[in-house]
Amino acid sequence: MPTLQNLRRGGRFRIPGDRAMPFYLFLSLLLFSTGAYYLGRKRAFAVSGGQIRNLHSLPSFYGSYTALWCILPALIVFALWVTLQPGIIVDLVVADLPPELHNLAPDRLNLVVNDLKNLVSGNFVSSTPDPAMLAAADHYRNLRTIGNAALWVVVLTLATLGIAYAWRTISPTFRARNRVEQVVNLFLIASSTIAIFTTLGIILSVAFESILFFQKVPITEFLFGLQWSPQTAMRADQTGSSGAFGSVPLFAGTLLISGIAMLIAVPIGLMSALFLSEYATPKFRAFAKPTLEVLAGIPTVVYGFFAALTVAPFIREIGTAMGLHVASESALAAGLVMGIMIIPFVSSLSDDVINAVPQSMRDGSYALGATKSETITRVLLPAALPGIVGSILLAVSRAIGETMIVVMAAGLSANLTANPLEAVTTVTVQIVTLLTGDQEFDSPKTLAAFALGLMLFVVTLILNIIALHVVRKYREQYE
Amino acid sequence: MSTTTLETQTALNGALNIGAETRSSQPGILVTDYNNRQTVGKITVDHPKMICREVNVYYGAKQALKNVGLDIGINEVVAFIGPSGCGKSTFLRCLNRMNDTITGCRVTGQIKLDSDDIYDKSIDVVQLRARIGMVFQKPNPFPKSIYENVAYGPRIHGMVNTKAELDDLVRASLERAGLLKEVATRMEEPGTSLSGGQQQRLCIARAIAVNPEVILMDEPCSALDPIATAKIEELIDELRESYTIVIVTHSMQQAARVSQRTAYFHLGDLIEVGETDQVFTNPKHKLTEDYITGRFG
Amino acid sequence: MNKPTSAASAPAILNRDIKTIVNAGLKRRHAAETRFRWYGLIAVSLGLLFVVLMFGNIISKGYPAFWQTYIQLPIKFDPAVIDPQGSRDPKTLESADYAALVRAGMRQMFPKVEGRLELRALYGLVSSNAALELQSRVLQNPALIGAEQEIWLLASADVDTLVKGNIDRSLDETERPIKDNQVGWVDKLKAAGKIEKQFNTILFSSGDSREPEMAGIRGALMGSFYTLLVTFLLSFPIGVATAVYLEEFAPKNRWTDIIEVNINNLAAVPSIVFGLLGLAVFINFFGLPRSAPLVGGLVLSLMTLPVIIIAGRAALTSVPPSIREAALGMGASKLQMVGHHVLPLAMPGMLTGSIIGMARALGESAPLLMIGMVAFIVDVPKGLMDPATVLPVQVYLWSDLPERAFVERTSAAIMVLLAFMILMNGLAILLRKRFERRW
C-alpha cells in the first residue's frame, strides 16, 4: 500500500501511455457482457425447447444473469488489480534497488521512489539520473507492462469463465429472475450506504488529521488561544507553545461576517416571503419569486467577485467620504454580499413555513376583524416561529460554511475585532489558504486546516441537526 | 325583485309550469316543479338586523350563489341547510365579507347591517368583522394560550385599557361560552390542549369577547362528538338573547333544535325560507321536502 | 376564583359599543397596515434590485471582453528570416523567429521611431501571440514565404484596454500602463483604420495564459465538462438507486432512519468539508492525481448525491400507490413493478432534480480548491486524468489578477458560467413543465 506521504509528494505524476489502458479494458468488458446477455437469452430459448412458458423466468432474465456473471467477478478483480498494482510494483522495484539506496530511511526512500516515478513518466528529472536509478526505472516499466498484460488476460479469462458457468447453470427450472433481483437489490442497498460512508469518510478524514494536529498543538490552545498566525513557521519538534494556533479570532471573524449577513438576509428574506405569500398578487408573485431565487442559483464565486471588485471599494469610498477608516477587505463588504446570497435561502424556507400555517388560522383572525399585518405579526409569525427559527439556523450554518465570498473578499490576517469596517479572516478562508499553494505536509500548519475543518463540520452539523429537527417537529404539528 | 310573496309565487308557478307534475303529493306542497327556483316563503322579518337582496356570488366564471334575498331578524337564530355545494357557506361568508380573502371571488347585490351597506366603499371591513363574529367548521384556536386566544380580539381593537379590565373581559367571555369552569385554572395552557368541543367553545368565547352584533357559525359542530355538540347547541340557545346568530348546518335535527327560522339552499338558489317548524313539518317546495325526508342530501 | 364579580361585571364589559371603539383605532391600525405592506414591498424590491445590480455589474464589465482589438500590419514573409536555406523543412519553419517579422512590420508602419527604448515600446503594442499567428499561417501554407500581406494581428492587452476607453488618458504617464508615445501611435493607427475590434475567438479557443489578450476559457470549460461528466455518471445512478431503495424497498427501521437523517445532513454540510474529504481520501489515501477532473468529479458527486436522492424520493412519492397496486396485482415482482411502472413515471422528476444538482455542481469551486484544481494550467485537458481547472475556479484565479483586461475577462467568464447555469435550469423547468403530471 502506498504511504500517505509518498503519494502526497507524488501526486502530480502521471503515466501517459498507461492512462487509456483501463478504459479500453473496461470497454471490452462491457462488450463481453453485452454478448453474454444475448448468449444467455439464446441459451434459455434453447433449453426451453421453444416454449418460453416452460422457463421459470423470462428469457431476458437469463440473459441478464449471464451478463452479470460475466462482468461482476471480472470487474472486482479489475478494480483490485488497478488499486494494488502500483504499490506492488514499487515494492518489487525497491527490493531490487542497490543496497545503498534500499537501506535508506523511509523518508529518503520516498524521495527516491518519487524521482523514480518521475523518471518513468518522463516528467522532469532534477539532475542527471544515476545508472542505478535508470535501471530501476527500466525495471519499473517492465513490471508495469507485464502487469498490464496479465491484467488483460486475467480479466477477460474471468469474464469468459463467468459466461461458461452461467451457460451451464441455465435450465428451465433455474430461477434466474430471483438471482438477478438479488443482485439488483444488493446494488440498491449498497448505493444507499454511500451516504453513510460519505459521512464516515468526512469524520474519519478530518478527525484523523486533527488528532495528528492535536498531538503537536494542545487542543486547549487551539480552542481558546487568541492568537492565530500559522505562517510563522515553527520547528517540527516545537510544541505549539507560541500560541500561533488559537482559533478564537477565526471563529470571531466568521461570526462577525455571518452576523452581518444574517442582519441583511433575515429581515429582507422574511419580509419578502411574507409580502409574496400574503400581499402580492398571483401575477407579481409568479414573477418575483423565481427572480429572487435566481440569487440562489448564482455561483458563490460570482458573489465573491462582486464583493471584492464592486462592493468593497464602494464601501471603502463611502467610508472615506465620511472620514472613517475602512479596510479594503472589510468584514462589512463580505457580510453584505453573503447576506444577499442568503436572502433567497431564508425567503424560500420561510415561505414554506408560512404556507404550512393552516388557512383556518388566518380566517380565524380575519373574522375577528384583524388587519393583514395584525394577522401576520400576531398569529402567523408566532405560529410559524419554530419553523422560521429552524430556517434561520440552516441559513446561519450556510453562512458559516460559505467559502468563496470570504476567500475573495475577506482578509487573511486574524484580527480579534467586532468592528465591521476592519478586515477579519474566517475559518474557511484559513482552510483554503493553508491547503492551497505551497504545502509542507505533516507540518502543524497543514494539519491545522483539518482541525479547522473538523470544527466547522461539527458546528454546522449541530446547527443542521437542531434546525432539521425543529423544522420537522413544526411540520408534524400542522399535518 | 326577489321579495316575491307567497301569492305571486303561486301565480308565477301556475303561469310558468308547463308539463310539470301538477298533482301535489302532500297537501302543503305549493311548488312541485323541480325547475322552479324562485324562493318560496316569506323572506322578510319585522325587525331585521341584516337585509340581503339579489346577492350573487361568482368564483371566477362559476356562479356559486344566484339572486338570493333574505332578512335576518334581531336576536333570532337562522339556520341555513342544504346539500353540500348548495351555497349556504358561501352566503354565510358574504355576511362578514370573508369572501374578500378568496382571490377571484366576486359578490354583487346588496347586504345591509342595520342601515349600512356592508359592501359600500365607506365600510371598513375591519370594523364590519368586529361587528359580525364568526365561528368556523373546524375549531381553529390560535397557537397561543387560552387566555391570549380570548384576549386577541379586544387587544387588536383596543377595547380595554388595563390588564384588570382585560382579565375581566376574558373571564366574562369564557363564562358566557360556558368554558370558564373548565379552564379557570389553566388559562396559560395552549388553546390547542383543549378537547375538540372545548376548542370550539373557546372559539365562540373568542368571538364574543369582541362583543359582536351578529355571530356567524359555519357548521360549528361538524367536527364534534354528540356530547360536545349538545353543549354548543345549548350555548347557541343562550346566546340568542344577546346576539343575532346565523348557523350553517348539514344536520337537519340541529337546525330544528336551535333555530327559529330555516333557509333551504339548493345548487346556489335559496329554495325556501320559513319558520323552522313549518319548513320541517310542512315544506312548501318539493325540493325541500325531498331533502328533509332524506331523498337526497 | 372570583366568579361572582366576573359574572356581575360581564354585561358591562360585554355590552360596550364595538362600533365606536373600533372606529377610534381604525386610522392608526390602517397606517400600521400600510407601513407593514411597504416594508414587505421594500424588501422584495431590494431583493430584485440586488439581482439587477449583480447582473448589470457583471454584464457591463464583461461584454467588452467578447471583442478584442487587432492591429493591421504589413508583414513581409522574409525568406531570409524564416527559411534561410530554403529547405522548407517543417522543423525549420516552426522554430523561425516570427517575432522579427512582426517587428519589421511595426518599423515599416512607424519608420521614424528610433532608439532601443522607443522601439521596445512600439513592439509592445502587439501581443506576443502575433508571432504564433504568423507561424501557424506559414506552417499551414509554406507558399506564403516571400509574400507580403496586410495581416490583422492581436494587439496587446494594454492597447485593447486603451481602445476600449478604460484607461484614463488624463492620468500622469507614470500611472498608466501605456505611455504617451504608445498612445500617440495607437491614435495614428486608429486614424489610419489599422485598428479594429473583432469578435474574441481566443476567449473560447485557448486555455489560460499570463497575457490577458491570450487567455481563454476553453481549458476551464473542458475541465468543467469532464468533471461534470464524472459527477453525473456517478451521482445519477447511485442517487436514483438510493432513492428507489429508500422509497420502495427499505423496511422502516432504525437503519433507514439513520440513512435518511444522514442524507438530509449531508445536503447541508459546507462544500469545503467535501474538499477536505477529497483531499484526505481520494488524493492522499487512494493516491489519485491532484488537479484531475476525475477527483473533482468524485468530490462533486458526493456533494450532489443528497440533492439527487431528495429530488428522486419526492418524484417517487408523487407516483400514486394505485399504480403500484395495479402492477403487483398483475403478478409483477416488486422489482418489475418499480422498473416497469414507477421508475419511468418518476424519471422526469428525477432528471429535473439531477439537472438542478448538476447546475449547482457546475458553480461549485470551494471543494475543488482543496484538491488542487486551482493551478495555472495552460493546456486544454484531454482526459479525466489531465490536470485541469473548472470555470468557476478560473473566475477565482482571474479575479486575483490586477490587470483591467483580466477583470473584463473574469466578467466574461462569469457570463459564460451564468449562461450555462441558466441553460441547465431552463432545461430543468422545461422538463418539469413538459412531463408534469397531476394525479
Residues A368, A472, single domain; the answer is yes
Chain A, residues 372-411, CB within 8 A of chain B, namely 374, 378-379, 382-383
Closest partner residue to B130 (CB to CB) among C7, C9, C18 is C18
Establish if C144 touches chain A: CB-CB under 8 angstroms. no
Query: Residue C410: in which H helix or E strand, if any?
Result: helix C404-435
Chain A, residues 235-294, CB within 8 A of chain B, namely 282
Inside any domain, residue A387: yes
CB contact under 8 A, A371 and C238: no
pLDDT of residue A221: 84
pLDDT of residue B1: 39
- Percent of chain B whose predicted confidence (pLDDT) is above 90: 52
CB contact under 8 A, A371 and C392: no
pLDDT of residue C150: 87
- Chain C CB contacts of B128 under 8 Å are none
pLDDT class of A426 with cuts at 50, 70, 90: very high
CB contact under 8 A, B153 and A362: no
CB count in 10 Å sphere of residue B71: 22
Q: Encode pLDDT of B87-136 as tens digits.
A: 899 999 999 999 888 888 899 999 999 888 999 888 889 989 999 999 99
CB contact under 8 A, C407 and A301: no
Give the count of Cβ contacts less than 8 A between chain B and C. 63
Chain C, residues 108-147, CB within 8 A of chain B, namely none
pLDDT of residue C3: 37
What's the one-letter identity of residue C98?
Answer: Y
Establish if C14 touches chain B: CB-CB under 8 angstroms. yes
Q: Which residues contact A321 (CB under 8 A, 6 or more apart)?
A: none
Inside any domain, residue A199: no
Query: Residue B53: in which H helix or E strand, if any?
Result: strand B48-59
CB contact under 8 A, A86 and C277: no
Closest partner residue to B158 (CB to CB) among C6, C19, C24 is C24
Residue numbers in chain C where pLDDT is lower than 70: 1-16, 436-439
Compute CA B247 distance to the chain's CA centroid, rounded to the nearest angstrom.
Answer: 3
Establish if C32 touches chain B: CB-CB under 8 angstroms. no
CB contact under 8 A, C265 and A450: no
- Chain C CB contacts of B131 under 8 Å are 18-19, 22
Cα angle, residue A28 at apex, residues A25 and A34 outer, rounded to 5°: 145
Domain around A378: 242-477
| Residue that is last in its domain, among A152, A174, A196 | A174
Rounded CA gap, C220 and C214, in Å?
14
Which residue on chain C is closest to A448 by alpha carbon? C276
pLDDT of residue A440: 56
pLDDT class of B17 with cuts at 50, 70, 90: very low
CB contact under 8 A, C284 and A192: no
Rounded CA gap, B42 and B8, in Å?
11
Closest partner residue to B159 (CB to CB) among C6, C16, C26 is C16
Give chain C's largest Cα–Cα span. Answer: 125
Which chains, if any, share at least 3 CB pairs under 8 A with chain C? A, B
CB contact under 8 A, C29 and B126: yes
Inside any domain, residue B283: yes
Q: Are strands B214-218 and B132-135 parallel, antiparallel or unpaired?
A: parallel
Closest partner residue to C396 (CB to CB) among A196, A205, A301 is A301
Q: Cα-Cα-Cα-Cα dihedral of C166, C170, C173, C178, to 10°?
A: 20
CB contact under 8 A, A457 and C273: yes
- Of the residues A284, A368, A473, A475, the best mutation for testing chain B's interface (the one with the most B CB atoms within 10 Å of its CB) is A368
Q: Cα-Cα-Cα-Cα dihedral of C4, C10, C11, C15, to 10°?
A: 170
Whether A203 shows a pLDDT value over 70: the answer reads yes
pLDDT class of A147 with cuts at 50, 70, 90: confident
Q: Give which of A398, A385, A426 is closest to C270, Cα–Cα.
A: A398
Chain C, residues 251-290, CB within 8 A of chain A, namely 256, 258-259, 261-266, 268-274, 276-277, 279-281, 283-287, 289-290
Residues A168, A263, single domain; the answer is no
Contact C363, C300 (CB under 8 A): no
Residues A65, A152, single domain; the answer is yes
CB contact under 8 A, A368 and B142: no
Rounded CA gap, C46 and A268, in Å?
8
pLDDT of residue A473: 81
Q: How many Å lie between the alpha carbon of B98 and the closest alpha carbon of chain A?
A: 7
CB contact under 8 A, A275 and C250: no
Inside any domain, residue B1: no
- Of the residues C20, C48, C272, C407, the best mutation for testing chain A's interface (the one with the most A CB atoms within 10 Å of its CB) is C272
| Residue that is last in its domain, among A174, A194, A218 | A174
CB count in 10 Å sphere of residue C265: 17
Q: Encode pLDDT of A377-408 as tens digits.
A: 999 998 888 889 988 999 999 999 999 999 99
- Of the residues C42, C276, C305, C407, the best mutation for testing chain A's interface (the one with the most A CB atoms within 10 Å of its CB) is C276
Rounded CA gap, C195 and C188, in Å?
9
Residues A319, A429, single domain; the answer is yes
Inside any domain, residue A185: no
Domain around B176: 6-292
Residues A290, A420, single domain; the answer is yes
CB count in 10 Å sphere of residue A153: 10
Question: Residue B161 has which C-alpha cell?
Answer: 385599557
Question: Which CATH number fits the domain that encloses residue B24?
Answer: 3.40.50.300
Look at B40-49, B197-206, B268-277, B288-297 and tell me which has the smallest mean pLDDT. B288-297
- Of the residues B124, B156, B219, B246, the best mutation for testing chain A's interface (the one with the most A CB atoms within 10 Å of its CB) is B156
Inside any domain, residue A180: no
Question: Residue A68 has which C-alpha cell?
Answer: 452479470
Q: Encode pLDDT of A244-268 as tens digits.
A: 788 899 999 999 999 999 999 999 9
Rounded to whole angstroms, what are the CA distances from C405 to B8, C156, C410, C411? 90, 10, 9, 10
Q: How many Å lie between the alpha carbon of B271 and the closest alpha carbon of chain A?
A: 28
Look at A193-207, B71-85, C17-31 and tell me which has the smallest mean pLDDT. C17-31
Residues A28, A166, single domain; the answer is yes
| Residue that is last in its domain, among A154, A174, A194 | A174
Q: Encode pLDDT of B203-254 as tens digits.
A: 999 999 998 999 999 999 988 889 889 989 999 999 998 899 999 998 888 9
Chain C, residues 50-79, CB within 8 A of chain A, namely 50-51, 54, 57-58
Whether B257 shows a pLDDT value over 50: the answer reads yes
Question: Which CATH number fits the domain that encloses residue A406?
Answer: 1.10.3720.10
Q: Give which of C95, C93, C152 is closest to C127, Cα–Cα.
A: C152
Q: Name the domain count of chain B.
A: 1
Whether A87 shows a pLDDT value over 80: the answer reads no
What's the one-letter identity of residue B73?
Answer: G
pLDDT of residue B3: 42
Residues A166, A264, single domain; the answer is no
Q: Name the domain count of chain A.
A: 2
What's the one-letter identity of residue C252?
Answer: K
Residues A390, A285, single domain; the answer is yes
Question: Residue A288 has which C-alpha cell?
Answer: 418575483
Residues A253, A131, single domain; the answer is no
Convert chain A into a string of H (helix), E (strand) and C (coil): CCCHHHHHHHHHCCCCCCCHHHHHHHHHHHHHHHHHHHHHHHHHHHHHCCCHHHCCCCHHHHHHHHHHHHHHHHHHHHHHHHHHHHHHHHHHHHHCCCHHHHCCCHHHHHHHHHHHHHHHHCCCCCCCCCHHHHHHHHHHHHHHHHHHHHHHHHHHHHHHHHHHHHHHHCCCCCCHHHHHHHHHHHHHHHHHHHHHHHHHHHHHHHHHHHHHHHHHCCHHHHHHCCCECCCCCCCCCCCHHHCCECCHHHHHHHHHHHHHHHHHHHHHHHHHHHHHHHHCCHHHHHHHHHHHHHHHHCCHHHHHHHHHHHHHHHHHHHHHHCCCCCCCCCHHHHHHHHHHHHHHHHHHHHHHHHHHCCHHHHHHHHHCCCCHHHHHHHHHHHHHHHHHHHHHHHHHHHHHHCCHHHHHHCCCCCCCCCCCCCCCCCHHHHHHHHHCCCCCCCCHHHHHHHHHHHHHHHHHHHHHHHHHHHHHHHHHHCC
Q: Which domains does chain C have, with CATH numbers?
A: 65-200 (no CATH), 218-435 (1.10.3720.10)
Contact C273, A453 (CB under 8 A): yes
DSSP code at position B139: -
CB count in 10 Å sphere of residue C129: 18
Q: Which residues contact C147 (CB under 8 A, 6 or more apart)?
A: C76, C77
Whether A11 shows a pLDDT value over 60: the answer reads no
pLDDT of residue C212: 84
Contact A119, A125 (CB under 8 A): yes
DSSP code at position C390: -
Inside any domain, residue B152: yes
Over range A305-311, report the average pLDDT. Answer: 92
Rounded CA gap, A334 and C51, in Å?
17
Whether A12 shows a pLDDT value over 50: the answer reads no
